[in-house]
């Protein structure tokens, strides 16, 4: 990821020893780009891996934005969980799920800084709020789903369509529905009511049939009312 030409540097001299999982060094221009926005910051894809943030970049985030160790741990836990879930879902239902990948992450530190459905960096980034990784205002399951939702939203461009296509996420193995509900209840995102409504629907969503993840078995309706092509759900 490249910084825009002419972007001014801010703060202390860059720590040139910071290297991402893909062996990309954090130079002056990239550091200036990551922290140019007063109400947010950018995590370049090059400083993410399947387990979350590169340690050096995590330390820089804490120094530049005053984030806590708990915040970094919550980000890493959510990203790693989303990665594993997408690996599973893509393996089991490749026609309906994307494989996991690293992408640029834009984090807004104030709720009024940006629209929740912004597709930043010309749709080459995922948008979040810092509160999405504050344990008191979110949860691991909610934040993991937000990664998945951001990826789908970038692909299809419609909030309702992306959410519907992602409902089979809750058919994955080991989803902690109680943790998702708790995170949705605590969330302060501008669109928190959407996730609270989704949490209320989790009484029946995991029981839906799916062409690959949960085929109908004996004793279930032999002819469902319909099949949603994009998600693979049988309803």
Per-residue pLDDT averaged across 141-166, rounded?
A: 97
Q: How far apart are CA 39 and CA 110, in angstroms?
A: 6
* pLDDT at residue 191 in the model: 97
What pLDDT digit, counting tens, does each position of 29-75 carry? Answer: 999 999 999 999 999 999 999 999 999 999 999 999 999 999 999 99
Mean pLDDT along residues 128-139:
98
The structure's pTM equals 0.87
- Pairwise CA distance, residues 78 & 40, whole Å: 19
Neighbours of 35 (CB within 10 A): 18
Residue found by looking up tokens 């992450």 in the block = 105
> pLDDT class for 224, splitting at 50, 70, 90?
low
Rounded average pLDDT over 165-180: 98
Left, alpha or beta for 157 (phi > 0: left; psi -120 to 50: alpha)?
left
């Amino acid at each position: 990821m490249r910084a825009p030409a002419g972007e001014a540097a801010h703060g202390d001299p860059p720590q040139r020893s910071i290297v991402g999982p893909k062996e990309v060094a954090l130079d002056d221009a990239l550091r200036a780009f990551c922290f140019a926005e007063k109400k947010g910051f950018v995590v370049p894809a090059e400083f993410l891996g399947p387990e979350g943030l590169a340690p050096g970049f995590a330390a820089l985030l804490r120094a530049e934005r005053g984030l806590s160790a708990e915040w970094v741990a919550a980000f890493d836990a959510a990203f790693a969980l989303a990665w594993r879930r997408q690996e599973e879902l893509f393996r089991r239902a490749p026609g309906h799920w994307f494989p996991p990948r690293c992408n640029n992450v834009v984090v807004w530190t104030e709720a009024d800084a940006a629209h929740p459905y912004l597709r930043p960096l010309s749709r080459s980034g995922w948008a979040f709020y810092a509160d999405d990784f504050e344990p008191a205002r979110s949860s691991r399951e909610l934040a993991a789903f937000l990664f998945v939702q951001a990826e789908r939203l970038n692909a299809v461009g419609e909030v309702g369509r992306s959410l519907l296509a992602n409902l089979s996420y809750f058919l994955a193995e080991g989803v902690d529905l109680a943790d998702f509900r708790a995170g949705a209840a605590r969330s302060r995102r501008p669109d928190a009511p959407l996730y609270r409504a989704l949490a209320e629907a989790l009484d029946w969503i995991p029981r839906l049939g799916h062409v690959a993840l949960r085929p109908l078995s004996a004793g279930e309706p032999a002819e469902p009312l319909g099949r949603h092509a994009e998600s693979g759900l049988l309803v």
